[in-house]
A and B are shown apart, each in its own frame.
Chain A
Amino acid sequence: MHETDSAVRPAVPRAGSTRSRRVKALRLQAELGIDSVGALKEQLTRVLDQPAKVVLDAGEVTRVHTAALQLFCLFCRDRRAEGREVEFARPSPALLAAAALLGASTLLQLAKAAP
């Protein structure tokens, strides 16, 4: 996973309103298997309290384990509960399919992010 520290625009135009023009982009790695959820959690933890909008670039995700999806769900739920924004950019078909099967599409607000 690559983390960009500077404020960058996400790869796709942002949908909806934002309170801040600043965004924090995280590029998700392709393989989100059970063996990588530890690292994924660390990465997400670093931006959990980030006031800027967090954009998770999921364009390269080819494989996703339920454990990774669970992290996304909890991350999105907790951030939104704090009134902070988070969204997915370029969700890959693998991620969309997994979220749909697990019933997490709504929570992750993938419908509006889908290309």
Chain B
Amino acid sequence: MSIDLAQFHRTFFEECFEGIDLMERDLLRMGGGPGGETVNAVFRAAHSIKGGAATFGFAAIASFTHHMETLLDQMRSGTRAISDPAVDLLLRATDALRSLLAAARDGEPLDTARVAGAQAALEAFLGAADAPESTAVAVPAVEQAYLIRFVPAPDLFRSGNDPLLILRELATLGTLETRLDLDTAPAFAECDAESCHMAWSLRLLSSHSRAELQEVFAWVEGSCELDIRLESAAAPPAAVATTGPAVHAVAAPTPRPGEHTVGDGGSIRVGTDKIDALMNLVGELIITQAMLAQLAGALDPVLNEKLLAGLSQLDRNTRLLQEAVMSTRMLPIDSVFSRFPRLVRDLAAKLGKQVRLTTVGESTELDKSVIEKISDPLNHLVRNSLDHGIESPEARSAAGKDAVGTVTLKAAHQGDNILVEVCDDGRGLDRARILAKAREQGIACTDAMSDAEVWQLIFAPGFSTADRVTDVSGRGVGMDVVKKNIAALGGSVELHSSAGRGSRTVIRLPLTLAILDGMSVGVSGEIFILPLSAVIESLQPQAEQVKRVVHQGTVVRVRNEYLPLVDLRQWFGLSGKSRPLHEAIAVIVESEGRKLALQVDELVGQQQVVIKSLEANYRRIRGVSGATILGDGRVSLILDVGAIVRLFSQAQAA
């Protein structure tokens, strides 16, 4: 049996990239101010990366990180001030480290100039620091004796760890006495060579803090039992055997109080494919449950009381299961937001602007797949805000505003949706300029358009108001791509702006891409699903509420508002004859600020449906976002309200 190193490498790289993200975030937080716990956190991250890299033989990464670690160590011990140049240098180093790791992981060519540059800068910086370091007031070191009980889990070796490296590092912190414990080890013939059967009782005489000792074990947290205590505070230790084989000397195992055990924080790493498979099964379960519920509807409730009670319990448990499985896929949006402080800092410096970034609701959770896909659109919006929205400090001061502009990222739940907002207090959108540019680029528009409609022009393919292509804008990703990406997630984008006071982009996203709260409607014997989030109301109009307008089709008057009417039967080319509207039902839906009345034959009900991709199983159809399987086994199409509203307005405009 041999150990597959590739799987360790994968975990190692994942953890390293997480570590770098964390370092970057904390470095930005440090920015010149007192460090405290933050600098410790950055140090720990660098330390873990170094340890892992050394374990796996990535010498270049280990040595590079070592320099960062040295600098951070000086910063946290107070021998070096946390200054802007130092933080800048460390940020540069995280970039270089990232490219080193990417090169090691993917075998991509390495940006050697950047890495060498960063390394040389670090070394020069550290070299220059040697002098002040030596003159720094040495903290009087008080040596304390720690008793450490270290019991690795059997699979410690398999997770790529080697206790030898840990003990070696521990030995650098002071005087280490080691006692090996083989009590629980099986006989040689029966042992598994790749499992760890050993345990250690250690005594360390050191001037370092307990937290620092704990850091040495950071890499194996969760795969060992660990108890670190001061000798004075501990129960009298069992006599350390000095004669005879140590292995026989340990008579009683050292007490292992649970409260000191460094656990795994209650989390494990699970592949997303496994969660997806689980999610898929839950989807199938929901379909089965819907099927049973439909069959049970025909049963006599008196005769089948117990069966029906069981079914309603099944219904409840299925829902709970679905929520539980969905929650495993949820991540706080902070994982996206946390990238922006760096982006804003760098961009603002490049553009010569002063920008403050605030984030609100970072802990809002949303589906991992949504998080991954929302990152690029958000990136684009923030870039736009900085480039086009926020003015230069002089212009801001002249306008009586704070010279430092503010960009705010907000996230919040609203029903079954997530709202993500990018706001800035810049100059706002320029209506006249947008209209002029749109005309120039041949996009249909009139001066009579409402503000909301003018803002929507920005999303037209190829639209750009930038007079010059800068490093920041004009990279070929337009707002149309932003909108397309968000629409692909089943979301929508709205723009709000007020001249001179700033603009606000609101992205509305579904909580998950797998399940949808839908309203089922019947048209010509077919069942269609409308996303409940898009439905405003449904009504049966009186004959006098319906009007036909020449060249404009039919409109329905709802509370003094005339809404265009779309007959779904005609829209999908279904057989049968349309009923007069006052005998049918109008479902009013809204997308991108525009309302539409959809004519259907009947409202069937409201249910959660599992979204099956139509593209993956058939092909893309305009106006349909997916399909689902109904309780009776029939396939039902899920309508893409956004697309229908868009297609309808295009047809009207044509």
Contact = CB atoms under 8 A, between A and B. Distances in A.
Interface in A48-85: 48, 64-67, 69-71, 73-75, 77-78
B200 interface: yes
Interface in B155-180: 157, 162-164, 167-168, 171, 176, 178-180
B2 interface: yes
29 contacts: A35-B5, A38-B1, A48-B189, A65-B164, A66-B198, A67-B196, A69-B164, A70-B193, A70-B196, A70-B197, A73-B180, A73-B182, A74-B185, A74-B191, A77-B245, A78-B188, A98-B164, A100-B178, A101-B164, A101-B171, A101-B176, A102-B163, A102-B167, A102-B180, A102-B200, A103-B178, A103-B180, A106-B245, A107-B182
Contact of B193 (A40, A48, A78, A104): A40
A8 interface: no
A28 interface: no
Interface of A: 34-35, 37-38, 40-41, 44-45, 48, 64-67, 69-71, 73-75, 77-78, 98, 100-104, 106-107
A71 B193 contact: yes
Name, among B162, B176, B244, the residue most crowded by chain A CB atoms within 10 Å (CB to CB).
B162
Interface string B284-318: 00000000000000000000000000000000000
A48 B3 contact: no
A101 B187 contact: no
Contacts of B171: 101
A70 to B, nearest CB: 5
- State the main secondary structure of chain A at its contact with B: helix
A74 B171 CA distance: 24
Given A44-B188, A78-B187, A78-B189, A103 B164 contact: no
B276 interface: no
A34 B156 CA distance: 11
A73 B191 CA distance: 12
Interface string B532-572: 00000000000000000000000000000000000000000
Nearest to A75: B188
Interface of B: 1-3, 5, 157, 162-164, 167-168, 171, 176, 178-180, 182, 185-189, 191, 193-194, 196-198, 200, 244-247
9 cross-chain pairs, A with B, having the tightest CB-CB distances, nearest first:
A103-B178, A103-B180, A74-B188, A41-B193, A37-B193, A78-B188, A66-B164, A101-B167, A66-B163
A94 to B, nearest CB: 10
A107 B164 contact: no
Contacts of B200: 102-103
A64 to B, nearest CB: 7
A65 B188 CA distance: 17
A34 B182 contact: no
Contacts of B178: 100-103
Given A78-B187, A103-B179, A66 B193 contact: no
A72 to B, nearest CB: 10
B157 A34 contact: yes
A44 B200 CA distance: 24
A9 to B, nearest CB: 26
B194 A38 contact: yes
Nearest to B1: A38
Contacts of A73: 180, 182, 185, 198, 247
A106 B188 contact: no
B191 A107 contact: no
Nearest to A101: B167
Contact of A67 (B167, B168, B194): B194
Contacts of A104: 180, 246
